[in-house]
Structure 1
């Protein structure tokens, strides 16, 4: 057993995120373990670019309100919610326009495929139902 060294907080790179995003590496598996866990903090309106993970990704919200969207679905995420995107599913996630949002992002390898940035129109469409009081999947 060993205590893992805490790495400094890192700002999300502009190539992969829109807005202000910071993350802390919680776990980065080595040798046989492929587990990756980051605590990711999104400022209002901040979001990832479109992406997919070869082995899927699980998000667990710890504070704030956000969304995770695929090409045809949107899920509003609140503290305590856990959402899984299956292997290869294109998606993005981020905070609502009037809330910060923090989630734990969990995945098993570094094989992510990054796409284009989520446009302001795509973001507005995905967050519209959440900001008008709707909840859950759309």
Structure 2
């Protein structure tokens, strides 16, 4: 992962190119750390990479928690301003809230994504983040 000219090291092995890449603008990598009972993945975003707007639906429980490890990123819920993220930031995303997250345009970003268990959970992928709005951040 790179930040400007300096290299940042992840404590985890970099995963493969994200198999959900069609729902991302830019390149990201996914290393699933756990898939039994609770889904935990390490996601590395190259500079400028972000996922599309999406919703973690659940009838009860559900949602997602992001534990930010390195670099600089953004998180935004629909209808709210984007929130800057850095190592040590924690984001609790309630179920059924439309949002996106990813790297800043000039820096890589890494987070652990924890899918909160719930009833009747599913992820709905929506439209890409508006390019002009993203570049203005």
TM-score category, normalised to shorter length = 0.7 to 0.9
* TM-score, scaled to structure 1: 0.77
Q: 2:35 aligns with which of 4, 28, 31?
A: 28
Q: Is residue 76 of structure 2 the alignment partner of residue 65 of structure 1?
A: no
Counterpart position of 2:101: 93
Bigger share in strand: 2
Report runs of 4+ in structure 1 exceeding 3 Å deviation. none
Counterpart CA distance in 2 for 1:43 and 1:10 is: 13
Q: Give ranges in structure 2 of 5+ residues lacking alignment.
A: 1-12
Counterpart CA distance in 2 for 1:123 and 1:45 is: 9
CA pair 106-26 structure 1, distance change in 2 beyond 3 A: same
Q: Give ranges in structure 1 of 5+ residues lacking alignment.
A: 1-6, 128-138
| Residues 40-87 of structure 1, C-alpha deviations (whole Å, 9 max, x = no match) | 000111000110112111101100010001112211111011001100
Counterpart position of 1:136: none
Counterpart CA distance in 2 for 1:8 and 1:120 is: 27
Counterpart position of 1:105: 113
Spell out the pairing of 1:1-138 with structure 2 (5 A cutoff). 9-12=15-18, 13-29=20-36, 33=37, 35-54=38-57, 55-73=62-80, 74-108=82-116, 111-125=122-136, 127=137
* TM-score, scaled to structure 2: 0.78
Aligned length: 116
Residue 15 of structure 1: SS of its match in structure 2?
helix
Could you say what the CA RMSD is over the residues aligned between the two structures, in angstroms? 1.8
